[in-house]
A and B are shown apart, each in its own frame.
Chain A
Amino acid sequence: MNETIMRSDLSKARGLGSAKHGVEHFISHRVCSFALVPLILWFMYSFTSLSSYTYFEMINWMQQPWNMIGMVLLVTVFIYHNYLSMQLVLEDYVHHPFWKLMSLMILKFVMVIVAIFGVYSLLKIAFGNM
């Protein structure tokens, strides 16, 4: 017996296309790389003198408002840019649908947790009793 297919070709194709977030991902990724150039150069240049600092000199440097703002920006923008990059890598190489979904979800959790650890530590240095 022939099965009568009631679904149109269009209805079968719907929902299989892009997630409509590609452009946002692409642009965020590039805006972050643009922002990271001065942040990285600033941090690396600061690091050249920081490497000889003692613990308390380092804390003192971090507690300067501009340094603290730069550090929070560096940590958040770096991690967000890297999250978007690693998402691309996983989407490219993890083909199994279940593991693709799982690895993307784990990546998101890990990145958010690491970002919170970083920002919390910085805020503790800024406002805590160091």
Chain B
Amino acid sequence: MTAPSHKRPLSPHLQVYRPQITSVLSITHRFAGIANFFGIFVFVWWLVALATGPEYYDYVMGHATTLWGKILLLAWSFSVYYHMVGDIRHLFWDFGKGFSLENVTRSGIAMVLASIILTLATWWLAGMGV
């Protein structure tokens, strides 16, 4: 890098800002995407277990049904829903819709609520064995 020829003010760094719903949802959207990256390995492991045979499948499901396994699956399903609903919000932005401050806050709250409801509904239905 060559030294700047003029001393110009730098833009303030991210840390000086108070956390806001927009910035917090933005970074957690990215964190959820990264969590989904790790979830893929678990999901494909489950598919490999299915293709391998009943003994190995039972061994993998033995891990999945422990307390930690269930917590991870719950977290992963939430992270998938959260990122999915967040991406729908992003798709509207990509078409230039919903950019006003009021709409961004409203869709942000809706996004969090929708992902929580979808997660609870999934696990509730799964628990009922529908």
Contact = CB atoms under 8 A, between A and B. Distances in A.
Contact of A125 (B36, B50, B130): B50
B36 A121 contact: no
A75 B47 contact: yes
Contacts of A62: 50
B91 A86 contact: no
Residue of B44, B80, B81, B129 with most partner-chain A CB within 10 A = B44
B17 interface: no
Contacts, number: 89
Given A48-B126, A55-B58, A114-B40, A33 B90 contact: yes
A47 B80 CA distance: 14
A105 interface: no
A118 B51 CA distance: 10
A89 interface: yes
Given A56-B54, A82-B40, A86-B37, A117 B48 contact: yes
Majority DSSP secondary structure for residues of B touching A: helix
Interface residues of B, number: 31
A37 interface: yes
B3 interface: no
A102 interface: no
Contact of A121 (B34, B44, B118): B44
A62 B48 CA distance: 13
Interface in B51-75: 51, 54, 57-58
Given A45-B122, A49-B130, A51-B129, 14 more contacts: A36-B87, A44-B77, A44-B80, A48-B130, A51-B126, A79-B40, A86-B33, A89-B33, A89-B34, A114-B40, A117-B47, A118-B47, A121-B48, A121-B51
Interface of B: 30, 33-34, 36-37, 40-41, 43-44, 47-48, 50-51, 54, 57-58, 77, 80-81, 84, 87-88, 90-91, 94, 118, 122, 125-126, 129-130
10 contacts: A44-B122, A49-B125, A51-B126, A58-B50, A58-B57, A62-B50, A117-B47, A121-B47, A121-B51, A125-B51
The 6 closest A-B pairs by CB, nearest first: A48-B125, A121-B51, A33-B87, A121-B47, A124-B51, A48-B126
